[in-house]
């Protein structure tokens, strides 16, 4: 293993990573470095443990629609390889430079979440370097397996607080041959929310179903893939028209979806875990605060891009939005450090659940070496 | 078992819901895996989450292990009682608490049957994981085992549909994991709980996601001279980018057995039947169904039958779903395996199974979820013939090993339970098992919830710093300190 500087560790194998974790008092885990501003500020000065030399695309089993990737492989590079075989890993979060390890560790996702799920749903197996110096595997390399505890779920979204993901096995899907998106626009937020939810209740098998709101106007976007994409988009277009929206069908739709992805980021973004019914009220709250909204309508997930403000007034806005959207959890993602220091980006946690999370943390990382203090409740 | 524990259980759940008579307890000595039987010290049938809490807390106070049981249809001995322990039977917790169709969620108690969930949200919605036992199996058991079913190649497993759980931990505390919302901040503990086979606690309330019922369904069955040919067709269908709602294979022996029950009139001279179902938007089915029929023909299918109506589709499915029970008509006993292989290794693994079958002199029928490579070899034997049950178990074990060696898994949907725990070291190294144990200890440091399952050997949790205290399982003589 090499040390680029005294404060950076770059393991070239899972074993090296585990040894480094075992020997180092505190590490900050880093993949592509695209989400370093997420979570609470670390409690202590930490050495950076980087996955960038764990960059092997270990296997692409085309016939089985699976792949094994080291954690430091960039998602973009992996997708290129899969696309060459007419396949895809159905994860399309923003951040071109993100690694698969980082995407899984943060549980990040994009519009394809609608049909294919989150990293937790697509990761079949993990290899992880643990703070006790061990390298452990869980899950399997086949798409169906229930042997052993599902540590892949535990590590997905754990923000590197239990160890360093060193390798993941993922399920792939056929890449649709053609795409087509039905778009409906309106300037009444309730018309937009209602139309989106209405589509979510129809058996459309859309690849993605988003809504957006910015300024005084919003839209519903329903993307279809496969042989019948155009016909199905046309059917969705008619449903949106009948719901009172101005409609369109877009075949060259990549730019529309790139915008949906990009708008999950901003100078200050709140990720809201809502439900379908709460999307209408959520748009009202966003409008009141001049926030931009991107949402996965069927899943009730929304990203609120807050207006730039001074740190103290931004912190006040976050508190107001949280209060207005309660009980929907609101996690502050991108935000200036001063704001993240002033308010808990994770929001309040249920005490019994937090106690159990702490017990998990103390079993895997009793000396609190991995990303100390970054996670929920200061885990 | 201290009499005071029985007294506490009776006070909590009522006299008549605490069973201690040997003959009554025998009802519960096995789950669906009849090869294992253990009579528990007591069985208790609580009627509410509060009663479950009282039962679990009492067991904790007395240091007595307990096992949760749903409908008892599991096939890995996951609900096998512990002789010194209490069996917590959840069949009375069968309320559907809330049907929240506007948010596509349903909240229910663990004893609700799998099929009742789909029924409660029909006709506009359905709950996709559909184990063959769905008429009887409980959602609590599905959560414990992360159950699959014929439609999971396209739709996913229980874990992809459970969004929230109310769980009673082994010390009697109640914790809410997840909720109706997705991506709640924190560790994905409901994701970890699903498939943990009752070893991390007991779920008393379950929130699941339901989805719109497909607009249309079309089903065909294609006959082939051998499973290898049918397997080739599966590969071609998947490679063409088709994701069937279900794609199921049966071999000659299982067709013969099912025919006696389902009377579908399938040809008697074929080596394999492939059941392919496309569901979804009519436009997409129309675009792909002919492709599927053509790919089957090109892969050598002797005949492709398309179900003309719902009745014929039901007969096709009856053939598939009858495969396990029908095997009882051709063989006095059978032993079901549940291994998984990478689908591309199907032909060589089937050849290996055939060879193992010949070597042992026992017949093996094969039924698979072909899309995801989940094999259900049925090892046929006669338990009345001395030594045959043991040979069957040995053969089943060799089949499991062949699948693991091909890069697969020891279990795709039935769980490890007691049945497959001895194979765990074939799939997982000591470091992996040690990591599993960390999780187990975080949830249940005293090891009282369903001990003796999943892990190949009993192990205890490292002490939290403090003076040594004797572990309840040590005291009960069930485990040694390693």
**Model confidence over B292-337: pLDDT tens digits?**
999 999 999 999 999 999 999 999 999 998 888 898 888 999 989 9
pLDDT in tens, A341-350: 899 999 999 9
Side-chain-side CA neighbours of residue A202 (13 Å): 19
CATH (residue range B3-89):
3.30.43.10
A-chain residue closest to B174, CA distance = A352
Average per-residue pLDDT for chain A: 96
Average pLDDT of every residue of chain B: 94
Helices A311-325 and A279-288 sit at what angle, rounded to 10 degrees? 150
Calpha distance B381→B395 (Å, rounded): 11
Residue among B96, B128, B113, B132 at smallest CA distance from B207 = B96
With an 8 Å Cβ cutoff, is A22 touching chain B? no
The DSSP result for B167-179, as a single string, is: EE-TTS-EEEEE-
Decide if A217 contacts A186 (C-beta within 8 A): yes
Q: Does residue A239 belong to the interface with chain B, where contact is any CB pair within 8 Å?
A: no
Backbone angles phi, psi at B265, to 5 degrees: 70, 35
Cβ distance of B241 and A376 shorter than 8 Å:
no
How far apart are alpha carbons B428 and B425 in whole angstroms?
5
Residue with tokens 């519903």: A220
Q: Flag whether residue A33 sits within 8 Å of chain B, measured between CB atoms.
A: no
Query: How many angstroms separate the CA atoms of B376 and B382, rounded?
Result: 19
Sign, Cα dihedral of B20, B24, B29, B32: negative
CB B253 within 8 A of CB B363: yes
B226-284 pLDDT tens trace: 999 999 999 999 999 999 999 999 999 999 999 999 999 999 999 999 999 999 999 99
Q: CATH number of the domain at B216-256+270-319, please?
A: 3.30.70.2190
Tokens standing for B142?
């599905």
**Does A348 contact chain B (CB < 8 Å)?**
no
Q: Using the predicted structure, report yes or no on whether residue B99 has a pLDDT greater than 90.
A: yes
Q: Is A2 exposed, middle or buried (0-12, 13-18, 19+ CB in 10 A)?
A: exposed
How many angstroms separate the Cα of B118 from the Cα of each of A114, A142, B165, B208?
21, 28, 19, 11
Evaluate if residue B470 carries a pLDDT over 60: no
Any residues with CB less than 8 A from the CB of B388 and at least 6 apart, and which? B362, B381, B382
Closest CA–CA distance from residue A5 to any residue of chain B (Å): 31
Distance, in Å, from the CA atom of B273 to the CA atom of B254, rounded to the nearest integer, reads: 10
Establish if B415 touches chain A: CB-CB under 8 angstroms. Answer: yes
pLDDT(B377) > 80: yes
Q: Provide φ and ψ at A306, rounded to 5°.
A: -80, 150
Exposure string over A277-297, b if 16+ CB within 10 A, otherwise e? ebbbbbbebbbebebbbbbbb
**So what's the pLDDT on residue B246?**
95
Name the 3-class secondary structure at B277: strand
Instruction: Identify which of B175, B413, B440 has the shortest CB distance to residue A144.
Output: B413
Instruction: Using the predicted structure, report yes or no on whether residue B465 has a pLDDT greater than 90.
Output: no
* Rounded Cα distance, A61 and B342, in Å: 9
Please list the residue range(s) of chain B that carry CATH number 3.30.465.10.
Answer: 96-212
Q: Is the pTM of this model over 0.90?
A: yes
Domains of chain A: 1-175+349-379 (3.30.465.10), 179-252 (3.30.70.600), 263-342 (3.30.70)
Helix (H) or strand (E) holding B223: strand B216-224
- The mean pLDDT of B52-81, rounded to a whole number, is 97
**B469 has a pLDDT exceeding 70:** no
pLDDT reported for residue B328: 84
Show the tokens assigned to A339. 């704001």
Give mean pLDDT, residues A31-44.
93
Distances (CA, A) of B214 to A104, A209, A298, B309, B369: 30, 17, 16, 16, 20
Q: What architecture (CATH level 2) is domain B96-212?
A: 2-Layer Sandwich (3.30)
First to last CA, chain A: 28
Q: Is the Cβ pair B214, A147 closer than 8 Å?
A: no
User: Which residue in chain B has the smallest CA separation from A157?
Assistant: B187
- Give the burial string for B367-396 (b: 16+ CB within 10 Å, else e): bbbbbbbbbbbbbbbeeeeeebbeebeebb
The average pLDDT across A136-157 equals: 97
- Return residue ranges of chain B for CATH 3.30.43.10: 3-89
Residue of A65, A108, A136, A148 for testing the chain B interface, max B β-carbons within 10 Å: A148
- For the stretch A255-310, pLDDT in tens is 999 999 999 999 999 999 999 999 999 999 999 999 999 999 999 999 999 999 99
Residue B233, both tokens: 């067709």
Chain B, window 349-408: residues with a beta carbon less than 8 angstroms from a chain A beta carbon = 369, 372-374, 407-408
Q: Nearest C-alpha of chain A: how many angstroms from B353?
A: 19
- Are B189 and A143 a contacting pair at CB < 8 A? no
Does domain B331-423 match CATH 1.10.10.10? no
How near does any CA of chain B get to the CA of A42, in Å? 16
Looking at residue B72, its pLDDT comes to 96
Strands A27-30 and A47-50: parallel
B-chain CB neighbours of A151 within 8 Å are 192, 435-436, 439
pLDDT digits 0-9 by tens, A241-253: 999 999 999 999 9
For B63, residues 6+ apart whose C-beta sits below 8 A from its C-beta are B446, B448, B472, B475, B476
Instruction: Decide: B342 and B406 in contact? Cβ < 8 Å.
Output: yes
pLDDT of residue B472: 53
Does residue B306 sit at the A interface (CB-CB below 8 Å)?
Answer: no
């Amino acid at each position: 293993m090499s040390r680029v500087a005294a404060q950076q560790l770059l393991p070239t194998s899972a074993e090296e990573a585990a040894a480094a974790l075992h020997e180092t008092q505190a590490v900050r885990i880093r993949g592509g470095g695209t989400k370093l501003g997420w979570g609470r500020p670390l409690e202590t000065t930490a050495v950076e443990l980087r996955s960038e030399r764990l960059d092997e695309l270990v296997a692409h089993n085309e016939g089985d629609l699976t792949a094994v990737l080291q954690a430091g492989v960039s998602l973009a590079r992996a997708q290129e390889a899969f696309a060459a075989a007419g396949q895809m890993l159905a994860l399309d979060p923003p951040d071109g430079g993100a690694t698969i390890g980082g995407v899984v560790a943060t549980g990040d996702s994009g519009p394809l979440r609608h049909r294919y799920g989150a990293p937790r749903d697509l990761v079949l197996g993990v290899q992880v370097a643990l703070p006790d110096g061990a390298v452990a595997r869980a899950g399997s390399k086949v798409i169906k397996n229930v042997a052993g505890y599902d540590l892949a779920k535990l590590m997905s979204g754990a923000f590197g607080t239990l160890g360093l993901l060193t390798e993941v096995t993922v399920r792939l899907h056929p890449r649709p041959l053609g795409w087509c998106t039905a778009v409906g626009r309106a300037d009444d937020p309730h018309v937009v929310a209602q139309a989106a939810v209405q589509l979510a209740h129809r058996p459309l098998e859309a690849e993605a179903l988003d809504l957006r709101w910015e300024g005084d106007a919003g839209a519903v976007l329903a993307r279809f893939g496969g042989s019948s994409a155009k016909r199905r988009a046309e059917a969705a277009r008619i449903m949106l028209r009948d719901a009172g929206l101005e409609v369109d069908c877009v075949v060259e739709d990549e730019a529309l979806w790139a915008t949906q992805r990009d708008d999950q980021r901003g100078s200050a973004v709140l990720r809201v875990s809502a439900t379908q019914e709460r999307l209408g009220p959520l748009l009202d709250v966003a409008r009141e605060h001049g926030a931009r909204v991107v949402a996965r309508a069927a899943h009730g997930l929304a990203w609120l891009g807050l207006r730039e403000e001074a740190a103290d007034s931004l912190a006040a806005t976050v508190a107001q939005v949280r209060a207005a959207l309660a009980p929907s959890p609101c996690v502050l993602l991108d935000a200036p450090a001063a704001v993240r220091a002033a308010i808990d980006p994770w929001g309040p946690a249920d005490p019994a659940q937090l106690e159990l999370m702490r017990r998990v943390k103390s079993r895997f990382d009793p000396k609190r070496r991995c990303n100390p203090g970054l996670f929920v409740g200061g885990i | 078992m201290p009499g005071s524990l029985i007294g506490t259980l009776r006070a909590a759940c009522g006299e008549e819901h605490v069973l201690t008579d040997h003959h009554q307890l025998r009802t519960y000595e096995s789950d669906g895996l009849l090869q294992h039987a253990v009579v528990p010290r007591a069985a208790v049938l609580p009627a509410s989450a509060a009663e479950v809490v009282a039962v679990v807390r009492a067991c904790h106070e007395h240091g007595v292990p307990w096992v949760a049981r749903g409908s008892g249809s599991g096939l890995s001995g996951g609900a096998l009682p512990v002789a010194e322990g209490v069996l917590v039977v959840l069949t009375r917790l069968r309320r559907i608490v809330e049907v929240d169709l506007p948010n596509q969620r349903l909240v229910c108690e663990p004893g609700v049957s799998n099929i009742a969930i789909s029924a409660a949200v029909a006709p506009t919605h359905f709950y996709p994981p559909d184990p063959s036992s769905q008429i009887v199996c409980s959602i609590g058991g599905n959560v414990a085992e992360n159950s699959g079913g014929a439609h999971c190649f396209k739709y996913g497993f229980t874990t992809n549909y459970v969004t929230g759980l109310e769980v009673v931990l082994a010390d009697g505390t109640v914790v809410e994991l997840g909720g109706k919302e997705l991506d709640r901040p924190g560790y994905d503990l409901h994701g970890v709980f699903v498939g943990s086979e009752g070893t991390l606690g007991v779920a008393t309330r379950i929130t699941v996601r339901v989805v719109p019922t497909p607009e249309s369904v079309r089903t065909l069955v294609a006959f082939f001279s051998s499973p290898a040919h049918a397997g080739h067709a599966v590969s071609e269908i998947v490679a063409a980018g088709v994701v069937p709602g279900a794609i199921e294979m049966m071999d000659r022996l299982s067709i013969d057995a099912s025919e006696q029950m389902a009377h579908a009139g399938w040809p008697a001279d074929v080596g394999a039947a492939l059941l392919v179902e496309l569901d979804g938007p009519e436009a997409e089915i129309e675009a792909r169904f002919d492709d599927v029929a053509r790919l089957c023909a090109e892969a050598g299918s002797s005949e492709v039958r398309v179900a003309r109506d719902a009745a014929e589709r039901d007969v096709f499915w009856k053939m598939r779903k009858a495969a396990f029970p029908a095997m009882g008509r051709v063989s006095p006993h059978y032993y079901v395996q549940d291994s998984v292989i990478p689908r591309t290794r199907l032909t060589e693994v089937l050849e290996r199974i055939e060879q193992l079958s010949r070597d042992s002199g026992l017949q093996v029928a094969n039924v698979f979820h072909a899309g995801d490579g989940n094999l259900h070899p049925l090892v046929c034997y006669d338990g009345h013939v001395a030594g045959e049950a043991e040979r069957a178990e040995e053969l089943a074990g060799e089949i499991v090993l062949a699948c693991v060696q091909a890069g697969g898994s020891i279990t795709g949907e039935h769980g490890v339970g007691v049945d497959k725990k001895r194979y765990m070291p074939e799939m997982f190294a000591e470091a992996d098992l040690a990591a599993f144990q960390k999780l187990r200890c975080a949830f249940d440091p005293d090891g009282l919830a369903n001990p003796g399952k999943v892990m190949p050997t009993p192990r205890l949790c490292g002490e939290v710093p403090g003076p040594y205290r004797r572990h309840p399982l040590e005291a009960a003589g069930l485990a040694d300190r390693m």
